[in-house]
Structure 1
Amino acid sequence: SQQKYFSTKYLSNKSKLNKLFGYRIMYICSNESLPILYKLEGSVQKCPDNYTVAVGKYRNAQNETGWGILEVETFPNFPVEMQAYAAGLVEGLLTKVQIYYHYLNTVSQLCKDAKEYCLKLFNYLKLNLEWIESQVMSNPPTDLYWRHVNLTYTQLTGIQDGYGPEKPFYFSRVRFAITPILKIQMAGDFFDLDRVFKKPKTNYSSNNHCSGFVKVLEGNKDILISHVTMLGYKSMNRMLKLYKLAYDPKEVPGHTISISSYPGSVTSQDDFSLTSGGLGILETTITLSDESIYSNINPIGQLSCWLRSFIANQLAKTSHEWVLIFGRFNSGTLNNQWMVLDYKLFKPGEELPRNDLFWILEQIPGTTVSRDMTWFLRKYNYWPSYNIPFLKKISDLGGFTEKANINNWWRWGYSPRAKIFQRDHNKVKDMETLRELMRYNDYKHDEYSKCKCDPPYTADGGISTRSDLNPLNGTWELPDMGFKNEGTIDYKGTNYKLFNKFQFEVIGGPIHGGPSNLPPFNWKNTTIDALHYGQPIIWKFKNFTIEWQTELE
């Protein structure tokens, strides 16, 4: 097939930069008059008319807000494969330094002191990629699902090429290969693969505990959704992203997506995603208690969680469609409770629809179960999510029902976060009170943060957590309650009005202040020993609402 070549051009016009508050802008241009292919920097020149395949805008505001901001837009005069590659290429070129720091801090350590594990892991990845490529080749281009698997890997190839050594020109291509960029996508899936392939426990990938929340305000005047991510602090190289891809909107309802994310990742990974299909998507992770069901994981016939969520975000136009698409080819890795709210069905001030406004899906190896939970929102006006499955089949098979009999820490409706949500959800009246609830932690005084521990409370007993504040020499009822390199690293929240502009409010970094006046996280005075290249030293940032520079409908 004909190779498609691109040149890259930078726009650094000062008036334009001032308008965009310090954004660096890059154009990916198609040049059909081969072999005149080149790169221009420091020029006000754009691509020739009708030859702009993609434009990227990036602002590194991590030291100001805790976040970088990336916007990628493609244009409709080009094949979708070329658009996907160009979207990835501009991201890789613009954010290669940030990708490098994030990679160093996280998945570059994947095989440290774990040679046998990595041999098994890489064999699994190799077999899985070979199967994926065979399916892409054998299914016709009219198969929308597999076409988008191919487009996703094309976009990853573009990121990898942009991240690599700079060239005077590039050509559109797709590779199904184990690369640094693929490892970044797989960060969440590695959490379960570590256990499948018996990685030494001292080097497990970061546990992913999160809090998710959906709130219907009084009189149905608004619906708010929010999420806070709990991860190891090495993962705090963060990026807010907007992808606006010129795919056929009839085939691809989610052609435009805004997410909270990480350098080099095409998915949120938190997850917090808003799509042009009208959907708001959240998840919190389920940590399996019964690891025998990992036997259901196979490199053949399965697709990783990150990939299935990316495709579902693009192809789904309803919450029910989303869970159906995502449930295909279940890999049993990064097992989550997913929440999908269809904002299209919400009319402020009117009665909530009886069906299909809000679906959940819960996944474990070998099984996914989904259910329309609109009735729950109609009855209780909120939905809480806190890393415990709601659906009985998943709870039973995943070992949660048995663990709940040991301690309420694992019981739906009775864990500390469950009780705090139940007690305080009616305090949420607007975006400000939403933020206060989701960043709430008063662990030394809140009755639900108490435990049979010494000291008698845990900083893991809040909607947001700060495990680093638990004393190293404490005595803990459960290991999860003690000191760890882990805590809440962000806040995201949106409402009906903001959603319709792909906007959301964010905070970068661990919680600080609040009713207990928690100290800001500071790399200079913590006992945590973790890589943190490219991160601010002191994390004390305020909330702000992202305003995209790209023109959006």
Structure 2
Amino acid sequence: MAFRQRHAATCFKSILQVLLVFFFSYCPVQAEISSAFIDQQTGQLAISEGYRDDFVAWANFTDDIDKSGWSFLEVSTSRRFNDSIQAYAAGAVEAAVTSQLMYKHWVNTLMGYCGPKTFESGYCQRLKAYITSNLEWVMEQIQEQGNAPYWHQAKLALLQLKGLEDSYNDELSFPGGPFSINPFGFLLFQMGGDIEDLESALNKSSLTRPLGSGSCSALIKLLPGNKDLLVSHDTWNTYQSMLRIMKKYTFAFSVSPKDSAALPGGTQAFSSYPGSIFSGDDFYILSSGLVTLETTIGNSNPDLWKFVRPTGAVMEWLRNIVANRLASSGQQWAQIFSKYNSGTYNNQWMIVDYNHFTPGQTVIKDQLFTVLEQIPGLVVYTDKTQELMEKGYWASFNIPYYPEVFNASGCNELVEKFGPWFSLDKSPRAQIFRRNQTAVTDLDSMVRLMRYNNYKEDPLSWCDACDPHGNGENAISARSDLNPANGTYPFGALTQRSHGGTDMKLTSYGLFRGFGMLAVNGPTWDQVPPFQWSTSPYKDLLHMGHPDTWTFKPVKVTWSS
């Protein structure tokens, strides 16, 4: 894929710009706005700077990374146009305003992955063949069943991705018929989680994810007296991934060509990345009243990889998008997401339905909270409202909850080999969440817990088999970079790595109704030293566009529309 940097577009001040209210300070920001419209002379889609009344889609972007740690993007489409052109235009305007970040993020995170020097490897050829076969199968379903809501939304997501890539490459041309997706283009931004599992399923010799590597912490917390329901998520990722965009999509798509009803999840706010048309973390606030989030549980049983096949499957990132758009309840979300299980990016999903929550309500019936777990060949989901009510919280920390998933994915063997670190009840984060969640009484205390890392003093962060014993991985927000390079560790997750909790997002009953949240980007520095590229062991890793020192404070995110 050919990548080019664009010249910086002129910034526009506008009443449409994102409103950022800092917890600790306020700083005005400028917005860059672009519109996609139908050129009356050529009849083709075109993009111009600024807001136009005749937009097919328009984007409003603010790069505030140096001041707040985040950039902010809003994309809206117009129902005056058909769904397909809306979707393509949505991708096109996003690329128009975020192309510089997209370039930097590609350089930092994907440059060289199955590139010219490595493409001849057997793995890269197998990966391309797998992705190509899968895309062909999905396109066949779209052609044959395009009027069905599921496949209509799948098509729109792929058109949005094509618009994003075409616009970035200055090759804007709305496809009038069947279209193709570059298997090694910006699709790789969408497939990051899927590829982690495909590396194992396709026998890549060097895997991206070390044994036991965590990928996110999550907490759903009922405050005392049920006065509020808080939903929070920490992304755990490589530090090179920290160029972030907080996004809000407002898409005027219909459910299907034969059902003109508006999408339940047509408006979504979520944490995301340059070049990604979904969250990837994942953390979503949806107009349906749902908040959806996940932590990765992975798969440690090689016998299950036989269920990972390119046909009959939809990649997790795409099933995620379709479920978020179409579902009106937690049960419906789980049913939609369960279809065409790819067995890749295997996660525990939590679906909170704020339609079934009233602050102060003493009795909450079912349908408030659903938990789903996916591994190759198996999806399990049930309503967990009553367990949430009884315990007052639900914590998620990369270990399966359902026994059939725990056992089938090989977690019981990991416990036998490495001990309780891999167990559901006695792993470090399970114990820290259980002990510390009782102190959560408001937004501030929830933020403190989700940023918690006191690994040198907290006995629950202790690792008997490690030298030194305190380990920066064993916390709610990991700091694996603080583990000594010359230490002794029983498995890869506990070693020194450029990896840890890279953000925190939190919403509440009051915030979610405006698609709002509290958010902080960067590794935690509440109880440990701040992360600084220039003094870290990883200063030579590519981190184009990153601030040097990550000492950002939480911001309250609200939106212009």
Fold match (TM-score > 0.5):
yes
Q: What corresponds to 1:156 in structure 2?
A: 161
- Select 1:145's aligned residue among 145, 150, 166: 150
> CA-to-partner distance for each residue in 1:130-189, whole Å, 9 max, x for gaps?
111111111142x1101111111011011111111266x766774333142111000111
Q: What corresponds to 1:386 in structure 2?
A: 397
Q: What corresponds to 1:24 in structure 2?
A: 32
CA contact under 8 A between 1:58 and 1:94: conserved in structure 2? yes
Residue 513 of structure 1 deviates from its aligned partner by 2.8
Residue 126 of structure 1 deviates from its aligned partner by 0.6
Q: Which stretch shows the higher mean deviation, 196-205 or 533-542? A: 196-205
Q: Write the distance in 1 (CA, Å) between the matches of 2:110 and 2:401.
A: 31
CA contact under 8 A between 1:82 and 1:172: conserved in structure 2? no
Flag the 1:128–1:437 CA change in 2: closer, same or farther, 3 A: same
Q: What corresponds to 1:4 in structure 2?
A: none
Are 2:385 and 1:374 equivalent residues in the alignment?
yes
Residue 483 of structure 1 deviates from its aligned partner by 0.9
CA contact under 8 A between 1:133 and 1:176: conserved in structure 2? no
Map of 1:459-498 to 2, 5 A cutoff? Answer: 459-498=472-511
Q: Which stretch shows the higher mean deviation, 16-25 or 359-368? A: 16-25
- Select 2:109's aligned residue among 106, 110, 114: 106
Q: Write the distance in 2 (CA, Å) between the matches of 1:19 and 1:135.
A: 38
Map of 1:302-341 to 2, 5 A cutoff? Answer: 302-341=313-352
CA contact under 8 A between 2:11 and 2:30: conserved in structure 1? no
CA contact under 8 A between 1:342 and 1:356: conserved in structure 2? yes
Helix, strand or coil: the match of 2:559? coil
Q: Write the distance in 2 (CA, Å) between the matches of 1:37 and 1:472.
A: 53
Flag the 1:14–1:446 CA change in 2: closer, same or farther, 3 A: closer
Flag the 1:94–1:218 CA change in 2: closer, same or farther, 3 A: same
CA contact under 8 A between 1:11 and 1:25: conserved in structure 2? no
Helix, strand or coil: the match of 1:317? coil
Q: Specify every segment of 5 or more residues in structure 2 that has no aligned partner in the other structure, as ranges.
A: 1-8, 20-28, 256-260
> CA-to-partner distance for each residue in 1:392-435, whole Å, 9 max, x for gaps?
11001001122223311110011000000100101111110000
Q: What corresponds to 2:288 in structure 1?
A: 277
Q: Write the distance in 2 (CA, Å) between the matches of 1:352 and 1:119.
A: 56
Residue 473 of structure 1 deviates from its aligned partner by 0.5
Are 2:507 and 1:502 equivalent residues in the alignment?
no
Q: Write the distance in 2 (CA, Å) between the matches of 1:546 and 1:502.
A: 8
Letter in 1 for 2:530: P
Helix, strand or coil: the match of 1:321? helix
Q: Write the distance in 2 (CA, Å) between the matches of 1:203 and 1:350.
A: 45
Q: Write the distance in 2 (CA, Å) between the matches of 1:17 and 1:371.
A: 41
Residue 66 of structure 1 deviates from its aligned partner by 1.5
Letter in 1 for 2:123: Y
Matched residues, number? 531
Letter in 2 for 1:221: K
Are 2:218 and 1:212 equivalent residues in the alignment?
yes
CA contact under 8 A between 1:129 and 1:177: conserved in structure 2? no
Q: Write the distance in 2 (CA, Å) between the matches of 1:15 and 1:297.
A: 48
Q: Write the distance in 1 (CA, Å) between the matches of 2:430 and 2:461.
A: 11
Q: Write the distance in 1 (CA, Å) between the matches of 2:130 and 2:301.
A: 22
Q: What corresponds to 2:232 in structure 1?
A: 226
Q: Which stretch shows the higher mean deviation, 454-463 or 243-252? A: 243-252
Q: Write the distance in 2 (CA, Å) between the matches of 1:217 and 1:322.
A: 25
Flag the 1:298–1:519 CA change in 2: closer, same or farther, 3 A: same
Q: Write the distance in 1 (CA, Å) between the matches of 2:269 and 2:203.
A: 36
Q: Write the distance in 2 (CA, Å) between the matches of 1:357 and 1:88.
A: 33
Flag the 1:189–1:18 CA change in 2: closer, same or farther, 3 A: closer
Q: What corresponds to 2:525 in structure 1?
A: 512
Letter in 2 for 1:444: K
- Select 2:454's aligned residue among 439, 442, 446: 442
- Select 1:525's aligned residue among 528, 535, 545: 535
Residue 266 of structure 1 deviates from its aligned partner by 1.2
Residue 502 of structure 1 deviates from its aligned partner by 0.4
Letter in 1 for 2:194: D
Are 2:86 and 1:83 equivalent residues in the alignment?
yes
Map of 1:190-209 to 2, 5 A cutoff? Answer: 190-201=195-206, 209=215
Residue 371 of structure 1 deviates from its aligned partner by 1.1
Residue 541 of structure 1 deviates from its aligned partner by 0.6
Q: Write the distance in 1 (CA, Å) between the matches of 2:17 and 2:166.
A: 30
Q: Write the distance in 1 (CA, Å) between the matches of 2:376 and 2:46.
A: 48
Give the aligned CA root-mean-square deviation in angstroms. Answer: 2.1
Q: Write the distance in 1 (CA, Å) between the matches of 2:162 and 2:267.
A: 20
Helix, strand or coil: the match of 1:52? coil
Are 2:129 and 1:123 equivalent residues in the alignment?
yes
Q: What corresponds to 2:3 in structure 1?
A: none
Q: Write the distance in 2 (CA, Å) between the matches of 1:288 and 1:128.
A: 21
Flag the 1:276–1:331 CA change in 2: closer, same or farther, 3 A: same
Q: Write the distance in 2 (CA, Å) between the matches of 1:348 and 1:470.
A: 42
Q: Write the distance in 2 (CA, Å) between the matches of 1:273 and 1:15.
A: 26
Q: Write the distance in 2 (CA, Å) between the matches of 1:39 and 1:237.
A: 25
Letter in 2 for 1:333: T
Q: Specify every segment of 5 or more residues in structure 1 that has no aligned partner in the other structure, as ranges.
A: 1-9
Letter in 1 for 2:443: M
Residue 12 of structure 1 deviates from its aligned partner by 5.6
Helix, strand or coil: the match of 2:496? coil
Letter in 2 for 1:455: P
Q: Write the distance in 2 (CA, Å) between the matches of 1:14 and 1:323.
A: 42
- Select 2:300's aligned residue among 289, 303, 311: 289
CA contact under 8 A between 1:17 and 1:24: conserved in structure 2? no
Letter in 1 for 2:497: K
CA contact under 8 A between 2:37 and 2:46: conserved in structure 1? no
Residue 351 of structure 1 deviates from its aligned partner by 2.5
CA contact under 8 A between 2:353 and 2:368: conserved in structure 1? yes
Flag the 1:22–1:205 CA change in 2: closer, same or farther, 3 A: farther
Q: Write the distance in 1 (CA, Å) between the matches of 2:12 and 2:408.
A: 59
> CA-to-partner distance for each residue in 1:262-298, whole Å, 9 max, x for gaps?
1111111111111001101110101322122111100
CA contact under 8 A between 2:92 and 2:163: conserved in structure 1? yes
Q: Write the distance in 1 (CA, Å) between the matches of 2:43 and 2:254.
A: 31
CA contact under 8 A between 2:32 and 2:62: conserved in structure 1? yes
Flag the 1:376–1:107 CA change in 2: closer, same or farther, 3 A: same
> CA-to-partner distance for each residue in 1:430-468, whole Å, 9 max, x for gaps?
110000000001001101011122111111111110000
- Select 2:142's aligned residue among 129, 136, 146: 136
Flag the 1:155–1:547 CA change in 2: closer, same or farther, 3 A: same
Q: What corresponds to 1:180 in structure 2?
A: 185
CA contact under 8 A between 1:194 and 1:205: conserved in structure 2? no
Q: TM-score, normalization: structure 1?
A: 0.92
CA contact under 8 A between 1:220 and 1:352: conserved in structure 2? no
Poorly superposed stretches of 4+, deviation over 6 Å = 17-20
Are 2:362 and 1:351 equivalent residues in the alignment?
yes
